[in-house]
């Protein structure tokens, strides 16, 4: 599903920062993996490259067989929207839209009719055990519920891959376990390929493979 070959990235500046160093990484379809490392080790940079949210300097990145390199912004957005669902630490929900509207939003951008969007969004909310929260605003939901809404939103376009950046970073340990349980079920029952970036060993333990990154290098 994912193959990185000798990926390097440097942030330019008065003192350039060589943040990813010869990264080689291979994630198979159906894997549940974590990328673990300390703060500042380059995890988010790596995930942003995997998610085609950022570019790399040298090397090759293949996503589901497609070389992700020198893409125009439109090509990158198209590939991203078709292949990838994102989950973030801070949920990134729209505060004035209810749970159902938040989950349905990616389909709005795909031009799906309101009726169909709402049916599909409700299905995803039901799957997350949140049907009764559909018409609540994010501010009326707990942290764990917000993250489950965000996971429902990430799934609505039927992506091949879920990328999550510190998805439990804003949650207490009990709620973290619940959210990790959701990812585990998506992986074991639906066969979703999931890559989770985290600095939390407790999260890493709940994945099937831990990839360690130290100072921009895979260990
Ligand atoms: P992590 O997610 O593991 O905490 P990041 O990938 O966010 O690490 O950051 C790795 C290093 O790159 C850090 O030293 C950070 O300060 C630096 N960095 C991140 N983004 C940028 C940027 N846009 N410009 C310059 N430096 C950056
Ligand atoms: Mg980070």
Average pLDDT of the residues in 33-53: 97
Confidence band of 116 (pLDDT split at 50, 70, 90) = very high
Residue 108: CB within 6 Å of ligand 1? no
Query: What tens digit of pLDDT does each residue of 131-175 get?
Result: 999 999 999 999 999 999 999 999 999 999 999 999 999 999 999
Average pLDDT of the residues in 95-119: 96
| DSSP line for 8-67 | EEEE-SSS-EEEEEEEEEEE-TT-EEEEE--TTSSHHHHHHHHTTSS--SEEEEEETTEE
Number of neighbours of residue 188 by Cβ within 10 angstroms: 12
Rounded-to-integer distance, Cα 99 and Cα 138, Å: 7
Average pLDDT of the residues in 26-45: 97
Nearest-CA residue for atom 5 of ligand 1: 42
| DSSP line for 83-143 | HEEEEETT----TTS-HHHHHHHHHHHTT--HHHHHHHHHHHHHHTT-GGGTTS-GGGS-H
Confidence band of 8 (pLDDT split at 50, 70, 90) = very high
Question: To the nearest 10°, the Cα dihedral for 158, 160, 163, 168?
Answer: 60
Mean pLDDT (the chain, rounded): 96
Confidence band of 205 (pLDDT split at 50, 70, 90) = very high
Residue 17: CB within 6 Å of ligand 1? yes
Atom number in ligand 1 closest to CA 216: 10
H or E element that contains 189: helix 173-190
Residue 53: CB within 6 Å of ligand 1? no
pLDDT at site 91: 97
pTM, rounded to two decimals: 0.96
Rounded-to-integer distance, Cα 144 and Cα 57, Å: 37
Average pLDDT of the residues in 100-120: 96
Q: Pick from 13, 19, 47 the residue to mutate for probing ligand 1's pocket: most ligand atoms within 8 Å of its CB.
A: 19
Residue 40 C-alpha to ligand 1 middle, in angstroms? 6
Query: What tens digit of pLDDT does each residue of 46-67 get?
Result: 999 999 999 999 999 999 999 9
3-state SS class at 1: coil
Atom number in ligand 1 closest to CA 39: 4
pLDDT at site 97: 98
């Amino acid at each position: 599903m994912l193959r990185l070959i000798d990926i390097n990235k440097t942030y330019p500046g008065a003192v350039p920062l060589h943040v990813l160093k010869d990264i080689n990484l291979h994630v198979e379809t159906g894997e549940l993996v974590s990328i673990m490392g300390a703060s500042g080790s380059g995890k988010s940079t790596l995930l942003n490259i995997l998610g085609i949210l950022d570019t790399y300097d040298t090397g090759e990145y293949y996503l589901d067989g497609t070389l992700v390199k020198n893409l125009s912004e439109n090509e990158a957005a198209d590939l991203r929207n078709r292949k990838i669902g994102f989950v973030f630490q801070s949920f990134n929900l729209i505060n004035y839209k209810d749970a159902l509207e938040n989950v349905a939003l990616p389909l709005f951008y795909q031009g799906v009719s309101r009726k169909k969007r709402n049916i599909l969004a409700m299905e995803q909310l039901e799957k997350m055990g949140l049907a009764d929260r559909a018409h609540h605003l994010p501010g009326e939901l707990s942290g764990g519920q917000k993250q489950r809404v965000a996971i429902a939103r990430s799934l609505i376009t039927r992506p091949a891959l879920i990328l999550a950046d510190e998805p439990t970073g804003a949650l207490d340990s009990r709620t973290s376990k619940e959210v990790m349980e959701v990812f585990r079920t998506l992986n074991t029952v639906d066969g979703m390929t999931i890559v989770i970036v985290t600095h939390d060993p407790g999260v890493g333990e709940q994945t099937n493979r831990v990839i360690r990154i130290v100072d921009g290098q895979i260990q």
